[in-house]
Structure 1
Amino acid sequence: MTQTNQTTQTVTAHPIDPARLDAVRRAGEDGWGNAFTPFAATGGGEPLRCCLRFAQAGEQIALISFAPFEQVSPWREVGPVYVHADHCEGYAEPWLPGELRRGPGVLRTYRADGSMNYEHNTLVGDEDLEPVLDRLLAEPDVATVHVRTVLPQCFLYTVTR
C-alpha cells in the first residue's frame, strides 16, 4: 500500500490533456455540438478537470462535453466537465490532487485494452482515495481507473501506476 509520504506514492493522476482542451478552445465547440461558452465560476464546487482543483468564484470557466477515451469503444462515454476558459497548464504534480483526492466517488476500472473491468469498480465514501486506488491498480487486470463524482458520475480524472 502507498505510504502517506508523497515521495513514495505509486499512483499518478492525469487531468484532461491541455492540448485536447486547447483544440476545443480554438474550435469554439467541444466536438459534440456544444459551443465553448465561458462564464464566471460561482466557487460553489465546480471541479476543474484541466488542473484538478475547484474553481474559485469569478474565474472564467466553461462547461463542455468530454470523453476520457479518444478511441472508439463501447465504454467511450461523453459527459459534462468544467475546464478553464483560457489555456491552463494542467496538473503535473506526481501525487493525487489535494482538493479532489477524497470521496465520495465512483472508481471505474479498465483493463489495458480499454474494456471496463466491472469486477473491480468501487464506490467510495468520504475517504482518501489513494489507498483504494493503490489496491485497485495492484490488480493484474486493472490498468487504469477513472475517478468520477458519485451522484452524476461525471469524469474527474484518470489514475495509473
Structure 2
Amino acid sequence: MTTLHAPTTLHDPTTLHAPTTTLHETRAIAPDVLEQLRERDDAGATRRPVTDAEGGAPLRCCLRRSAAGERIVLVSYAPLRRWAAGTGAEPGPYDECGPVFIHAEQCAGPAGGPGYPAALHGARRMLRAYDARGHIIGGTLVELPVERAAEVDEVLRGVLADPAVALVHVRAVEFGCFLAEVRRR
C-alpha cells in the first residue's frame, strides 16, 4: 500500500499491471531551458562539454542514455525552481539544485510517448510528489528490474490520483539525481 504523506513508502511491484492508458506525461527539460543551462547553469556556472567515451549517461534533454562518442555536458539544474517560476509557487527549502546530463548541443528531444521514460530506468527510483506550493508531500520507492520499467506508469497513475499532487519528480535513489518531471495531461 502506498501512502503519499509518509516520507518514503515502498510500492509492492507484485501488484502492478501494465497500464491501459497514460493519463500523465513525462517531461524532459524544455528546449529553451536547455539553451539557458548550456550558457549558464542554475548554479551560475558555465560548464564545459565533454565527449562521452563510454556512453550510458542519463540525458534529461531527450530522456535516453547517451551513446559512446556523443558530446554532453553536466550542469546544475533546479527543476522545482523552474516549475515554481511558471506557477507562482514558493517552494522555499524544497528548492534543490543538482547535476544533470544534457547534450552539449540542441537535440531532437524525447522520441518516446508521454509515459515513463523506460530508457532511464534503474532498479530503484523514487517518485517524489509535490503539491501546488512546491512542497514535498510524499514519495514512492519503486524497485523494479529494468525489464519491467513500463510498469512504473501504473505506479505514477496511483501517485497522481491524489488531487493534492501537482507534479512528480522521478529521481535516482543512489544519488538523488532528478531524471524527469511527470504531470497530469
TM-score normalised by the chain length of structure 1: 0.86
The aligned counterpart of 2:118 is: 98
Letter in 1 for 2:161: A
1:76 aligns with 2:99: no
Map 1:59-70 to 2 at 5 A. 59-69=70-80, 70=82
1:50 aligns with 2:61: yes
The aligned counterpart of 2:158 is: 135
Map 1:112-131 to 2 at 5 A. 112-118=132-138, 121-126=139-144, 127=148, 128-131=151-154
Letter in 2 for 1:85: A
Please state whether the residue corresponding to 2:41 is helix, strand or coil.
Answer: coil
What whole-Å deviation, never above 9, does each CA across 1:81-103 have from its counterpart, x for those lacking one?
00000012322632222312564
The aligned counterpart of 2:127 is: 107
Flag the 1:135–1:80 CA change in 2: closer, same or farther, 3 A: same
Flag the 1:103–1:137 CA change in 2: closer, same or farther, 3 A: farther
How many pairs were matched up? Answer: 155
Per-residue deviation at 1:143?
A: 1.7
Identity %: 41
What is the RMSD of the two structures over their aligned residues, measured on CA atoms?
2.1
TM-score normalised by the chain length of structure 2: 0.75
The aligned counterpart of 2:44 is: 33
Tell me, yes or no, if the aligned pair for 2:28 and 2:109 is still in contact at 8 Å: yes
The aligned counterpart of 1:16 is: 29
Flag the 1:33–1:113 CA change in 2: closer, same or farther, 3 A: closer
Please state whether the residue corresponding to 2:136 is helix, strand or coil.
Answer: coil
- Which of the pair is proportionally richer in helix? 2
Which moves more between the two structures, 67-76 or 135-144? 67-76
1:144 aligns with 2:167: yes
Per-residue deviation at 1:56?
A: 0.5
Q: Which runs of 5 or more structure 2 residues have no equivalent in the other structure? A: 1-15
Flag the 1:43–1:12 CA change in 2: closer, same or farther, 3 A: farther
